[in-house]
Amino acid sequence: MILTVIQVYHLLQISLERDKVTNDPKSTMPAAFVSFKSRWGAAVCAQTQQTRNPTIWLTEWAPEPRDVYWPNLAIPYVSLTVRRLIIAVAFFFLTFFFMIPIAIVQGLASLDGIQKAAPWL
């Protein structure tokens, strides 16, 4: 069998990509997609706890493959937790600091509030 230069180059690229994936620790992700032969098996797996520590393996129904943003699978679980905490704190402070001016304006919006704030009107 005679290989052309293009075929040899293609085989070399495949070999280099395999070496890169197997040797790079960042190329593996802590996520897996499992397929089942029956819906019953999938339902049992999705609703049962797989280990003693429930945070080690989290089982969920998989979304459609075209609905997955694949680069997000590489985000570590700790980073996701920190991001959720930051968003929750930001949401709390934004809600709290916007409620005070809105309450003041709403209080002044009523006729009695305007009369109390500005009796000359």
Token pair of 94 as six digits? 């934004």
Q: What angle do CA 57, 48, 32 make, to 5 degrees?
A: 35
Residues 51 and 67 in one domain: yes
Highest mean pLDDT among 7-21, 52-66, 78-92, 93-107: 78-92
**Residues 6 or more apart in contact with residue 76 via CB below 8 angstroms:** 30
Q: Give the pLDDT of residue 113.
A: 65
Residue 98: inside a domain: yes
Indicate the DSSP class of residue 2. P
Q: Flag whether pLDDT at 14 surpasses 70.
A: yes
Token pair of 28 as six digits? 């593996």
Residues 118 and 80 in one domain: yes
Tell me the mean pLDDT in the region 69-89: 87
Residues 80 and 119 in one domain: yes
Domain total in the chain: 2
Q: Where are the alpha helices (DSSP H) in 1-121?
A: 5-23, 39-47, 77-109, 111-117
Q: Is 82 exposed, middle or buried (0-12, 13-18, 19+ CB in 10 A)?
A: exposed
Residue 87 binned pLDDT confidence (cut-offs 50, 70, 90): very high
Residue 44: inside a domain: yes
Residues 104 and 65 in one domain: no
Q: Give the pLDDT of residue 1.
A: 62
Residue 2: inside a domain: no
Residue 49: inside a domain: yes
Indicate the DSSP class of residue 3. P
Is 29 in contact with 73 (CB distance < 8 Å)?
Answer: yes
Residue 121 binned pLDDT confidence (cut-offs 50, 70, 90): low
Domain hosting 115: range is: 75-121
Residues 89 and 56 in one domain: no
Highest mean pLDDT among 56-70, 80-94, 105-119: 80-94
Tell me the mean pLDDT in the region 25-49: 80
Residues 48 and 83 in one domain: no
